[in-house]
Structure 1
């Protein structure tokens, strides 16, 4: 530490505020600290920037932080509405990026003299009231450790992650938004572009470790995986140059070899210097500057700060990078303030000559040196400098310095107002200890709120963090090594989590490697609709296989973890990528099959009616009278009803049709089969009665046959009554039997009762078939058994085949199978029993007489 500078104007001294800034000095990196003075005065305020270090080499771009401080003080001192009867000035201290020197500088500014006397305030007229610093959180923490003893507030314009976690009781205020806002903003950016496979580079320090602890679980929870996580050691001495080159080669190999196209870089302000070495190392090793393009996402701590000798290095690697920056606004007065600076004015700015020489790569001659090289003329233009080396427009960190000075000025202004309101206690106030005034200043800083010169509101939350958003910047580098920063979006701390990021992706310029197409950074290509992700065993969850959705399920979007079922009224498309509404279907009269079956049922009904009319017309003929004429009429009428019952199965199911269709058919058909059974038994008894001495003749007659038909029919009626009483059929909707249809049907209610009805009809048919088969060889003149055998054979064949057919079909085809079985079995009875008789009655009437029958002619 070479010298402390203080401002004295008209025999007035000021209290102090300190601001550390990064410079390129004796070590690889150093820290500057500024002290600011404020006290009562009665003349126009003035400010000067004094030389505190001799032969210090300033990192050109960070010199802007110094100028931002000076510009802010100049504006405040020239504005009488902020500090009435007060002026501001500052001193500068250097930490040299060394903890011991940082503590020494802090103790020195507390003593108030060049000679350090710990815990003594030698210069009672220069009372320190606050500190602004630093760019790196470790330096700020070292300062805060000492300042906490005296309760002196510190306004930090750089990262404060370490301070938040290690020293929660320190008195400091962050001129940057909370760290969590940036983390959520990065996540929102990744999710917006679908980048789920990324690399991560962090500096090997406490801030980097804290960043890892925060984002790894946060990103993983939201579906982002890490292809590579690397830590970059800090190269902070000239002796580590060779190690830095080796490190650059290692990082280059890892990053460029990764399949991730997006790299999140969390570093310090100087990290871009290290990043630019990647391309330089590639050129040294391969003889080419062509490096695989990546999308670099950089954090707020970083600025595009390059060393002067890097100005001509290629920038293809970081062209198109995205970064989160502290919100800043253009201050026209600041640009003019910078452009008016001349290198010969060393009295007010001791850094300017060194800055000028490094920026323009020239020297100012002196008497001792003969070989001057490139001579500085002093007419060089600052606005012609490469922006990576120095910018005339205020950047994010400089804007934070600017706002920090104003925040402290407003707090001092409020403190002065309070003193004026209690002027009667002036003597008492003058006797109060120094730290009591600092406690009051703390309270005022917590509640400070103002709009700066460009209208941005500045205030702190309850944690002492600046409430402000972040800008998302796209960095575009030209072939002449100049660059442009384009604001493409912002992060709003007040917005909900799903709207925290606003982005205009149409103005983004991507790295030339991607040919201006939006980069893709995923471990596995997206799974198209119709498929789902299946995580590969032993690999991150972002690496997966795409498997087709199983039958009955769909996926409508890309990269779904699981397929979903369609609703009951929908079915999957062929590609299983969307649901299609099912068609409502039933066997209608307009349906081709429904119309055909209707015509067939009506046709057989008409035939049956004609047969019945024929028999009624020839009711006195022998062939009609044979084998119980009344039973024949009952059989024909029941067959007519059976054919008509088939019509109940066609059309949209209603409550009444569902109740009638099964019961009406089963009862009418049971009557038919009962009549056939009665006829069969009558044939057998008639043959047995013709034997001499037979006692069966007394059982012969209509009473027996009618009793058989009636009893068998009543049993079926009783079964149907029980069915309707316990669980009757009802209209229902079948969503599942047919994939593409919603089938309107009649639910049988009780399946057991349904099969009981069919089973009973089958039992009657089996008995009739058995009896008729045994009587088939009886003399023809008394025998219908042969025709009954054929009719029962048809009946049994139809209904035995109906059961498996009914079980294997679905939807309206089940109804069609039942209708077809009804028509086929009824037609079998009608044709086998009555066709031979109708043939004789109509076409062979001469054979329809008793003599022909008694002669045992065969018909």
Structure 2
């Protein structure tokens, strides 16, 4: 239709181009389209006519100006699309002007189309140098956003970059990390899939395979892609393909059904009503352009009187194919003539289906965007009146400049373009669900708005149906998630989504699913059995509440009581010969020191504290020296007493009671001095031992100064050895109640205990170190009291007849 300003339109009304045979002897026949009509594309082309007529009838937009249009069929072919592009840019005037000034009046102001990305790229490169703006309704390749290569390209449909990001977020949202990928072998599929793979990689999604195909490829190529899908382990398949290509693949898969697959589709096919016949894709989800309502469009589409149909070859072809009749009688065919009873309102066809207008609205907005750009270029607003001069001759580059600035709302739909010629990206999340009648229908279950803040773009507001009509989200992972307590180890030669789950090493945990690393617990903590939580380590020390502590405490108290009872027996019989003959003063002092020795073992039991640590070692050292000093004194007394019986000997006057007391005090004072130096310089202190056991804490007393500790022990050992030597020398003295033998045995036990104590103390772990020390104290103390005092108590209590001076002076061996 002619007009003051003409808009071009290019649509893939047919899907194939007639193959031209060149014999180079005659002019080749003109290019022409073949195959059946794509009735959805026909509806899109008719939407251009509807929008133009609506604008021409408007009093607000381009008042007084009549728009025209010229719509072409590109046959979804690059060759035809380029041919049409040059035809539109060459001008529409039938007369060729040869003057100096070439008129631009016949050139189209802008072009709506093409539907495919690849033809759109070719068209943009052809008409771009002429500054003719191109506004596509369905070309979504992200590459077209490059203004360096396509400066005059605009579109009302979002770029595939947004859709690829949205698809990656969708896959991530449902926890799928192992997917397959198929794509159209075209600019649309290759660029869209490249964007998706890049976005998927950022989201941590792995792709098992990526296959390309095209509807004109040999069947063997399509079969190979279908076999890859059948053999794959990925449950989810992302398909970035054109509707025509996808139809070929699904037909191949239908011949030999593959295992159930969850299909994720790009907008081009997942929202195409014609694709809903493939039941193997039940549960498919993907993004579609938002549904819209265009008032009056359905009535316009159905308004096809016979005269209008007859005047249009395309409408004629559509009519004849839809009703299987011919408008004119032809001798070449026997088809019946159309008799006028055909009713288009009864026709079930994408042409008449306006229930889900998606891409149609993109065409509608494209026409209005061009009209607004022309309006801004030729119209002037004076006060409240808009005046447009249809005689104003404008060039397409003026429309191009104004198109960059358009920002309006039509039927509630906002239209504007960013610096790349792209609109604001908004999608509906669509799901293929079975209706009650058993047919598959498109159901909108959510929204995606790229203009919203990160993390808020995606919103699902309805329940989804999955593959095989399931309500459970299918799983598609290469490896199951690693639970807390394990870490991921990648499998050699496989993608990062394929891994093994290795338990955390000892002392380390992981508290998150799919943790790449384990981390150690703090020093005073230890993992639980599952190795996902750090618990405080149990604190261990020799306690009064445990069996070992109770037994040792009982022996300690028992030993002290035994010493007290022995002292009581000796005190009760202090005037008896056996008590008087064995230096009663040193015996009572020895029993007192033994009582302290038994009781000092109690300081080793219980929670170590600063005072208990200092007390336990010093009290042990001093009381034992006091004890050994008394034994040493008794041994010297025995030797001196024997020497005093020799004629002319005057030894006893040099080792009387005052000298004995001084000996005990002197030996004990030296130990007190050693302990004092130890406590002043580096005293023992409580500490938490974290090295002996990894899984628990040992509370113990650190020695502070190991030299001090071994000096205390060494001094005790020195006195014990000295005492032992003297006792050995006096063991055969011919005295009846000679204590030398008893002291020899006691010192033998004492030395044996403490010699074995040293390796046992060094090698015993944790609280058993303390137990060994207590055992040594108790064993040596019991050795002394039993060897020295038990025989005497036995005679005093059970053999009183031997507790006489006569028996004491008897030379017979005791």
Q: TM-score range by the shorter chain?
A: 0.7 to 0.9
Show the 5 A alignment for 1:547-626. Answer: 547-568=502-523, 570-580=525-535, 582-583=537-538, 586-591=541-546, 593-619=548-574, 621-626=576-581
Q: Provide the rounded CA distance (Å) in 2 between the counterparts of 1:831 and 1:854.
A: 24
Aligned to 1:823: 778
Q: Distance in 2 between matches of 1:276 and 1:481?
A: 20
Distance 1:180 1:693 in 2: 123
CA 1:533–1:687 in 2, change beyond 3 Å: closer, same or farther? Answer: farther
8 Å contact 2:302–2:352 — kept in the other structure? Answer: no
Q: 1:444 aligns with which of 405, 409, 418?
A: 405
Greater alpha carbon shift after TM alignment, 705-714 vs 219-228: 705-714
2:493 equivalent to 1:545: no
Structure 1 residue aligned with 2:335, among 361, 366, 372? Answer: 372
The C-alpha deviation readout for 1:519-578, integer Å capped at 9, x for no partner, is 222223444454443333233333333333333334455443344444455433334455
Residue in structure 2 matching 1:453, options 398, 411, 417: 411
Change (3 A) 1:90 1:703: farther
Deviation string, structure 1 residues 803-823 (Cα, Å, up to 9, x no partner): 565566655555444444433
Residue pair 2:489, 2:516 contacting (<8 A) in 1 also: yes
Structure 1 residue 501 and structure 2 residue 462: aligned? no
Given that 1:270 and 1:303 are in contact with CA atoms closer than 8 Å, whether structure 2 keeps it comes out as no
Structure 1 residues 746 and 542: alpha-carbon distance in aligned structure 2, compared to 1, 3 A threshold? same
In the TM superposition, what are the counterparts of 1:320-399 in structure 2 within 5 Å?
Answer: 320-326=283-289, 328-331=290-293, 333=295, 336-337=298-299, 340-342=302-304, 344=306, 345-346=308-309, 351-358=314-321, 360=322, 362-368=324-330, 371-372=334-335, 377-381=341-345, 384-385=348-349, 391-399=353-361
Which secondary structure state, in structure 1, belongs to the residue aligned with residue 405 of structure 2? helix
Contact 1:571 / 1:582 at 8 angstroms: preserved in 2? yes
Q: Secondary structure at the match of 1:721?
A: helix
For structure 1, which segment, 85-94 or 374-383, has the greater mean C-alpha deviation from structure 2 after superposition?
A: 374-383
How is 1:743-822 mapped onto 2 (pairs within 5 angstroms)?
744-750=699-705, 753-754=708-709, 757-758=712-713, 760-769=715-724, 771-773=726-728, 775-779=730-734, 781=736, 783-799=738-754, 802=757, 812-822=767-777
CA deviation after TM superposition for structure 1 residue 482, in Å: 4.1
Q: Which residue of 1 aligns with 2:11?
A: 21
Distance 2:728 2:112 in 1: 117
Distance (Å, rounded) in 2 between the aligned partners of 1:540 and 1:579: 32
Deviation at 1:594, TM superposition (A): 4.2
Q: Name whichever of 575-584 and 363-372 sits farther off.
A: 575-584
- Alpha-carbon offset, residue 757 of structure 1: 4.2
TM-score (norm 2): 0.83
Bigger shift: residues 702-711 or 328-337? 702-711
Change (3 A) 1:438 1:67: closer
Q: Kindly tell me: are residues 795 and 331 of structure 1, through their superposed partners in 2, closer, same or farther at Cα, counting changes over 3 Å?
A: farther
Q: 1:474–1:509: 8 Å Cα contact kept in structure 2?
A: yes
Other structure's SS at 1:542 match: coil
Residue matched to 1:662: 617
Q: For residues 772 and 34 of structure 2, what CA distance do their matches in structure 1 show? A: 106
Give per-residue Cα distances to partners, 1:283-314, cap 9 Å, x unaligned: xxxxxxx432211212234345587xx88x6x
3-state DSSP of counterpart to 1:346: helix
1:415 is displaced (CA, Å) by: 5.0
Matches within 5 A, 1:227-376: 227-232=208-213, 234-236=214-216, 243=218, 245-282=219-256, 290-303=257-270, 305=272, 315-326=278-289, 328-331=290-293, 333=295, 336-337=298-299, 340-342=302-304, 344=306, 345-346=308-309, 351-358=314-321, 360=322, 362-368=324-330, 371-372=334-335
Question: Is the Cα–Cα contact under 8 Å of residues 197 and 224 in structure 1 kept in the other structure?
Answer: yes
2:37 aligns to what?
58
Q: Deviations over 1:131-160 (max 9, x none)?
A: 333332222222222443243433333223
SS of equivalent to 2:295: helix
1:471 is aligned to 428
Q: CA 1:540–1:608 in 2, change beyond 3 Å: closer, same or farther? A: same
Alignment check: 8 A CA contact 2:629 2:668 kept: yes
Measured in 1, the distance between the counterparts of 2:812 and 2:693 equals 56
- Provide closer, same or farther for how the CA distance between residues 434 and 651 of structure 1 changes in structure 2, counting only shifts above 3 A: same
User: Contact 1:568/1:736 (CA < 8 Å) preserved in 2?
Assistant: no
1:193 paired to 2:183 = no
Give, in angstroms, the shift of residue 511 of structure 1.
1.9
Cα distance in 2, alignment partners of residues 477 and 118 from structure 1: 62
Distance 1:423 1:381 in 2: 42
How far does residue 441 in structure 1 lie from its aligned partner after superposition? 0.7
Match of residue 46 from structure 1:
none
Q: Find the aligned partners of 1:430 and 1:857 in 2 and give their Cα distance.
A: 158
The CA distance in 2 between the partners of 1:825 and 1:457, in whole Å, is 100
1:183 matches 2:164: yes
Deviations 1:324-378 (A, max 9, x none): 223x1331636744663447342787644434555x4733342115522797953
- Spell out, residue by residue over 1:246-279, the C-alpha distance to the aligned partner (whole angstroms, 9 max, x if none): 2222112111011111112222343321222223
Paired residues of 1:533 and 1:562 also in contact (CA < 8 A): yes
Q: Helix, strand or coil for the counterpart of 2:207?
A: strand
Distance in 1, matches of 2:363 and 2:192, equals: 24
TM-score by length of 1: 0.80
- What secondary structure sits across from 1:91 in the alignment? strand
- Asked if 2 retains the 8 angstrom alpha-carbon contact of 1:570 and 1:580, the reply is yes
| Distance (whole Å) between structure 2 residues aligned to residue 301 and residue 737 of structure 1 | 68
Change (3 A) 1:852 1:320: same
